[in-house]
Structure 1
Amino acid sequence: MNKLKIILLITIGVLSCKNETENAEMQFLTEQIPNNIPLEFKQNLIPKNKLIHKGIFSPDLKEFYYTISDNSFEKFEVLVIKKNNGDWSKPKKAFFNSECNEHGMSFSPDGNSIYFSSTRPTNIEGVFETWHIWKSDKVNGEWKEPIFVDIPNMRERLVSHPIITNSGTLYFHSSNLDYSEMDIYNSKQVDGKFEDAKKTRISMNSIAGKCTPFVSPKEDYLIFASIGNQLDLMISYNDGKGGWINTKKLNNKINNKGQGNPYVTPNNKFLFFTTGEYLEKNWKVNWVNIETEITID
């Protein structure tokens, strides 16, 4: 290969990277895009005397939803910012907020449904008053009143942080009412109704509890928080037989202070997650390029 061809290839590569960065900056309306070192996403998101818990984008990347709470974890609510003439709008309460607590939201892959966890009453006999899953559908561009997602064998348990895949399978974490025995479950949707949930079979070297799952729309990988002395973000891969294997801890640049609430952008490129020391409560939403971590070694 002669020198001119080499120079042209290098120039094309540099321009391609520059264009990709500029496109990403336009998509997320930020001045800096992370590589494999996490950055905080929008430092001014958190109101005074509040904690941030989770952040997600709508599939079209035009809206960013995030959960905040008071320092005593008694009141949770979801805020949203929207793109407006090349800038982000001021935060407003999300349309599905109620007088109760809301948390753990996620969009369906097509963006036409949003699932979230809430403590609002179901007014259904046999359903305990605790965190349960709710959803709202978008019809003709308008979000409808949220409805309770009934999973028959979860009516007496705490259920939270739902995420639905292309196949219509709903993943979430569930525990006893005192938060003990927390693990990740999944429920298949048949004829518009969810079946009894089953514990998700994740191969691990420990028996640690698991929470806050993110499952890719194709169900090829799963990111979740393992529960130990702190939360650690783990990734596992679908074995095609109903189980999840090759589980590993994400790198130390991501796992350093206790992590949870993972969310990955639709292009499988950027991971958003919550990090912070529990006692200090200096929590923030970080984001990082996750492409190399998603692939199997």
Structure 2
Amino acid sequence: MPNRIAVALALAAATMAAGLAAAAALAAPDAGARLLADISSPRNDYNFSPDAALRTAVFARSDAEFANAKIMVTERRNGRWTEPRPISFSDDRWADSDPWLTPDGATLYFISTRPTSGREEGRADYDIWRAHRTSSGWSAPEHLGPSVNSRGQELGPETHGGTLYFSSARRSGAGGLDIYAAPAEGTGFGEARLIDGPFNGPESDSDFTLSPDGATALFWRMVEGKGLLHISRRGSAGWSTPEPLPPAINHGPFNFTPAFAPGGRSIWYASTREQPGQDAGLADIFVAALPPR
């Protein structure tokens, strides 16, 4: 199964009120990074994505090397997240990963190796899909087509302001994994292009996300063999030069899948920081306050 870290290293070597109150309780402004203990497991947990009201969240869980990835669902009840369960359309024949839930909780974007019309049999790379929440659960997953998908890996899809953002290892990139954007077009999305700004360089950049007000961007960048979360802020002159977040947040060999909490002052993210009783290289989900401006 394709490995997000291995892809990045190989390519680099080759070249709101309820939500706000709950978010404040999850990460006070002076808090350091702490484990999201309700859902953490001895396996590989990453890509935590809740709705804006913090009632439902999704995340990915896999074995080592991101094998056998599944999307998990949890509900927040009495101030705690419930025991995660696989999403209803999970199928052991294929891997589903990198889930992102829209703020209203109505649409889920994710990546999958599942087959679809026009996709050659036996391909194991990830494409971008989506599903819609219905009165009876989740709709059948919908492949987003060739305007956004390629023969390379697609990772970390999210939508902000009608634009689909994701990362890809396609040949048109600047190097490694690069961040792309595709504008909304009808019921789908138009042609994906590299995003503007100081983001895509010779090393891998991935898991791009925006704060609720659209003024702050987070993503991970491969730096000397480590995946470090970076921050950039939008000003009158455009995006600032991305800078790594403090070591208290970038505390593992690989730190990835950042997601803003409501209000934009704290984040959830995954890190391969070593934990007691867990094999090295497996990720857990953490919550931390962002440094002040």
TM-score (norm 1): 0.77
1:56-75 equivalences in 2 (<5 Å): 56-75=49-68
Aligned partners of 1:138 and 1:144 also within 8 Å: yes
Cα distance between partner residues in 2 of 1:97 and 1:268: 31
Determine the structure 2 residue equivalent to 1:286: 286
What is the Cα deviation at residue 67 of structure 1? 1.3
Cα distance between partner residues in 1 of 2:165 and 2:200: 22
What amino acid maps onto 1:246 in structure 2?
A: T
User: Equivalent residue of 1:130, what SS?
Assistant: coil
Counterpart selection for 1:79 from 41, 54, 72: 72
Q: Please give the per-residue CA displacement for 1:102-155, whole angstroms capped at 9, x wherever unaligned.
A: 111112233221111111112225795520111112245743211111242633
Which stretches in structure 1 are left out of the alignment for 5+ residues?
Answer: 1-19
| 2:227 aligned with 1:231 | yes
What is the Cα deviation at residue 230 of structure 1? 0.4
Q: How many residues align?
A: 267
Aligned partners of 2:182 and 2:191 also within 8 Å: yes
User: Equivalent residue of 1:104, what SS?
Assistant: strand
Counterpart selection for 2:96 from 97, 102, 121: 102
Aligned partners of 1:201 and 1:244 also within 8 Å: no
Aligned partners of 1:29 and 1:88 also within 8 Å: no
CA-based RMSD of the aligned residues comes to 3.3
Change (3 A) 1:206 1:193: closer
4+ residue segments displaced more than 4 Å: 23-26, 28-34, 125-129
Determine the structure 2 residue equivalent to 1:266: 262
Aligned partners of 1:24 and 1:33 also within 8 Å: no
| 2:86 aligned with 1:93 | yes
Determine the structure 1 residue equivalent to 2:209: 214
Determine the structure 2 residue equivalent to 1:193: 188
1:39-54 equivalences in 2 (<5 Å): 39-42=34-37, 45-48=39-42, 50-54=43-47
Aligned partners of 1:25 and 1:32 also within 8 Å: no
Which structure's CA Rg is the greater one? 1
What is the Cα deviation at residue 185 of structure 1? 0.6
Determine the structure 1 residue equivalent to 2:6: none
Which stretches in structure 2 are left out of the alignment for 5+ residues?
Answer: 1-16
Cα distance between partner residues in 2 of 1:281 and 1:129: 22
What amino acid maps onto 1:281 in structure 2?
A: G
What amino acid maps onto 1:259 in structure 2?
A: N
- Between 1 and 2, higher relative CO (CA 8 Å, sep ≥ 6) is seen in 2
Cα distance between partner residues in 2 of 1:25 and 1:247: 26
What is the Cα deviation at residue 83 of structure 1? 2.5
Cα distance between partner residues in 1 of 2:202 and 2:26: 42
Cα distance between partner residues in 2 of 1:28 and 1:92: 23
| 2:167 aligned with 1:164 | no
Determine the structure 1 residue equivalent to 2:12: none
Q: Please give the per-residue CA displacement for 1:155-186, whole angstroms capped at 9, x wherever unaligned.
A: 32211110101x21000010149x97211111
Determine the structure 2 residue equivalent to 1:115: 109
* Percentage of pairs with the same residue: 19
Aligned partners of 2:150 and 2:170 also within 8 Å: no
TM-score (norm 2): 0.78
Change (3 A) 1:156 1:240: farther
